[in-house]
Structure 1
């Protein structure tokens, strides 16, 4: 099962329908409240402050410390699929840069993502179904290392790619210490059979419990409740992932950089972990509260752009600019949007991106400011929205980005500055249409910072600015797609069913949305995937991988399914015709219901 099987229920819990949010401020407010459940927990399940979770964090911190102290013979690998893999890449790059800036420390973090580096920018979900590939690439990456701290990230405990790697770790515990990060209780781990494998995610993850009892593994799975958009782990799940990874490295680096008492003092370590978690809570609560109106105005502008067949562009530099690319990469698989609808561009292109495979080739994948200038700048219209991410860090000596932003402001596009501190550049901000200043009140956090050395304090501040920027970009792109009709009753009803996990997720969404049986939902989805009112025996009995392959270029699979099941006597032809006239599923459904 996914982390999305829970239903909103109970007094005092967050409850809303984002698909009919009455105003843009509601979208900001409700997503923010949902994010805070990372810290408050969900119902009676273990939360991030539970003793077992804190102990697993401490155990992982201890192992990370050992890697940082002996980087020649050991390494730390973060691995995942989609958003999880992108965040593993992002954090590994961030930590390596920090290590290289410190005297006597060596970069020793690495990453794996299902589909390889192209998956950092484009969705390649089919690779997520391959546990044998996951095992193979992990083995190749770590072949020369004597000790490996492996952190596998799968928010719904549902990625076979990660499960295959953890299975490999469990069979080689003399070399590997596996850590599982996810946000479901283990009994809800995905238990569907995986093609060409004799195990399931659930069987592998449950085996970790025995290894954990012997201090040979750690399971970090605080239950944080449903996502604001059911089925998408890019928001709350992604934010919780980054919080956990940041805290692990902040505390372990604190030990390595000179706090010799910490490695043997669990109570001191746990106290530091709690301080850090509370800082993240305060930032994720405070910024949306103070900047709700500003964020809402940008959501409105971005939504109007997408509804007018325009675009949402992110421009930026360094780590804050990278978050724009990550946010953009998540929109096609989540909302069924076109790759060009939401794009991110980075000063320095792939040389700044820092991925292992380097330049990923053709112009469609070019992420440089030069590419934006060549292919997009001259075509900007009033239907486009352009956001300068981390505008307060852009200086006149950042000539490429600085100059292109001056040209963007001369166009009819809506321009937005997303600043990350109070000291904004008047040259950058002058003449823009909208601004969001994600100013963090550092004075309120000083008491949490005192124990850290100065360089690590700055790293923590950078991490907090990153988490606030990620949250804000998620709100903007999510809100824009809500306004475009890509969300129905909090379900992402235009996701692409591009792998085994998403095929079953699609069935789950239809079952919950329409109250039909799994068999009925599956049959209607197959009718939509094959665009046939009557399926052949070969089609109904084919492997899921064959369904996915045949329907790889079929759009609006779930919207068509909803109309087929929700409207008596609806045919494929009638559903497609209605969706052509009324692209928003809510409007299409209401229109057909009247006839």
Structure 2
């Protein structure tokens, strides 16, 4: 029998149903406090993955996340936030979830158990040698993700993994393993908790750092963000006001004319 993943180890707490509300919250918070420290231990591995992915993307590659359940949803969320934040195509970072887009809202039974389906799903995107595949699996053993990573590596793609189970099958199958040792969940096996938080933190680091490497940030500002609502239009105007020392009315007019903060600032330099 396979070794039990650390994410399935019994909770450090017992008789949870008899706890007061305050005790429940304090206990969850105590466990959550361990997550950032666990991620910190993985920074060297994350850095290597960032540089490897960014280098391929500079030459036309894309970044794909594959996962199921909570892990898959986190990948979809991170990918979907790249276009509005960094002004990139929605085809540059892609989240692929076992069971298809319907699984984002509702669980699809046994979708994660198919070892060949992930590669089939990736082939729908005309996957190529410059693309990078990062598998997301708290347990590090999800068949959908494991099969996809193994096939992607066979085909010469860059492969990475974000898991919360050190020594996992998926970590061993890929080139760049990030294994965040968060320990047992507050509720045994509920990996939407600490494991999900850890994966979200690593995904934030990965996509943000890659986009910085690709030149999508200036100073500390999202100069390429999509101006899709009033809040973002005002944020863009504030950036321009600060950079060019002009009024809000002038900044908004320039933003409307040129379409992005970066374009306005580039025009102002001419």
CA distance in 1, matches of 2:72, 2:98: 8
- 1:316 to partner: Cα distance: 1.1
CA distance in 2, matches of 1:408, 1:370: 7
The aligned counterpart of 2:262 is 559
Q: Say if 1:371 and 1:508 are closer, same or farther in 2 by CA, change over 3 A.
A: farther
Q: Say if 1:350 and 1:528 are closer, same or farther in 2 by CA, change over 3 A.
A: closer
Structure with higher Rg: it is 1
**Deviations 1:174-229 (CA, angstroms, capped at 9, x unpaired):** xxxxxxxxxxxxxxxxxxxxxxxxxxxxxxxxxxxxxxxxxxxxxxxxxxxxxxxx
The aligned counterpart of 1:369 is 118
Equivalent of 1:387 in 134, 141, 156: 134
The aligned counterpart of 1:322 is 73
- 1:521 to partner: Cα distance: 1.3
The aligned counterpart of 1:407 is 151
**Deviations 1:122-177 (CA, angstroms, capped at 9, x unpaired):** xxxxxxxxxxxxxxxxxxxxxxxxxxxxxxxxxxxxxxxxxxxxxxxxxxxxxxxx
CA distance in 1, matches of 2:242, 2:38: 33
Equivalent of 1:464 in 189, 194, 198: 194
- 1:501 to partner: Cα distance: 1.9
Q: Note if contact 1:302-1:477 (Cα within 8 Å) is conserved in structure 2.
A: no
Higher relative contact order (CA 8 A, sep 6+): 2
Question: TM-score normalized by structure 1?
Answer: 0.39
Q: Note if contact 1:391-1:417 (Cα within 8 Å) is conserved in structure 2.
A: no
The aligned counterpart of 2:4 is none
CA distance in 2, matches of 1:523, 1:477: 31
SS of equivalent residue, structure 2 residue 41: helix
**Deviations 1:316-372 (CA, angstroms, capped at 9, x unpaired):** 11111211111000000100011110001112213432359x9xxxxxxxxx83653
CA distance in 2, matches of 1:373, 1:477: 19
CA RMSD in angstroms comes to 2.8
Q: For residues 335-350 of structure 1, what are the structure 2 equivalents within 5 Å? A: 335-350=86-101
Q: Note if contact 1:385-1:415 (Cα within 8 Å) is conserved in structure 2.
A: yes
SS of equivalent residue, structure 1 residue 491: coil
Q: Note if contact 1:511-1:521 (Cα within 8 Å) is conserved in structure 2.
A: yes
SS of equivalent residue, structure 1 residue 493: coil
- 1:401 to partner: Cα distance: 4.2
Unpaired stretches in structure 2, ≥5 consecutive residues: 1-13, 109-116
Q: Say if 1:270 and 1:373 are closer, same or farther in 2 by CA, change over 3 A.
A: closer
CA distance in 2, matches of 1:514, 1:283: 41
The aligned counterpart of 1:289 is 40
The aligned counterpart of 1:437 is 179
CA distance in 2, matches of 1:351, 1:523: 41
The aligned counterpart of 1:418 is 162
CA distance in 1, matches of 2:173, 2:189: 31
Question: TM-score normalized by structure 2?
Answer: 0.81
CA distance in 1, matches of 2:61, 2:140: 27
CA distance in 2, matches of 1:258, 1:278: 17
The aligned counterpart of 2:10 is none
SS of equivalent residue, structure 1 residue 492: coil
CA distance in 2, matches of 1:458, 1:433: 27
Q: Say if 1:371 and 1:496 are closer, same or farther in 2 by CA, change over 3 A.
A: farther
CA distance in 1, matches of 2:69, 2:244: 45
Unpaired stretches in structure 1, ≥5 consecutive residues: 1-253, 263-268, 359-367, 450-455, 530-556, 571-595
- 1:277 to partner: Cα distance: 2.3
Q: Say if 1:370 and 1:416 are closer, same or farther in 2 by CA, change over 3 A.
A: closer
Q: Note if contact 1:306-1:481 (Cα within 8 Å) is conserved in structure 2.
A: no
Residue 103 (structure 2) pairs with residue 352 (structure 1) = yes
Residue 227 (structure 2) pairs with residue 524 (structure 1) = no
- 1:287 to partner: Cα distance: 2.3
CA distance in 1, matches of 2:48, 2:27: 33
CA distance in 1, matches of 2:45, 2:17: 42
How many pairs were matched up? 249
The aligned counterpart of 1:179 is none
Runs of 4+ aligned structure 1 residues displaced above 6 Å come to: none
The aligned counterpart of 1:78 is none
Q: For residues 496-515 of structure 1, what are the structure 2 equivalents within 5 Å? A: 496-515=226-245
SS of equivalent residue, structure 2 residue 201: helix
CA distance in 1, matches of 2:145, 2:235: 40
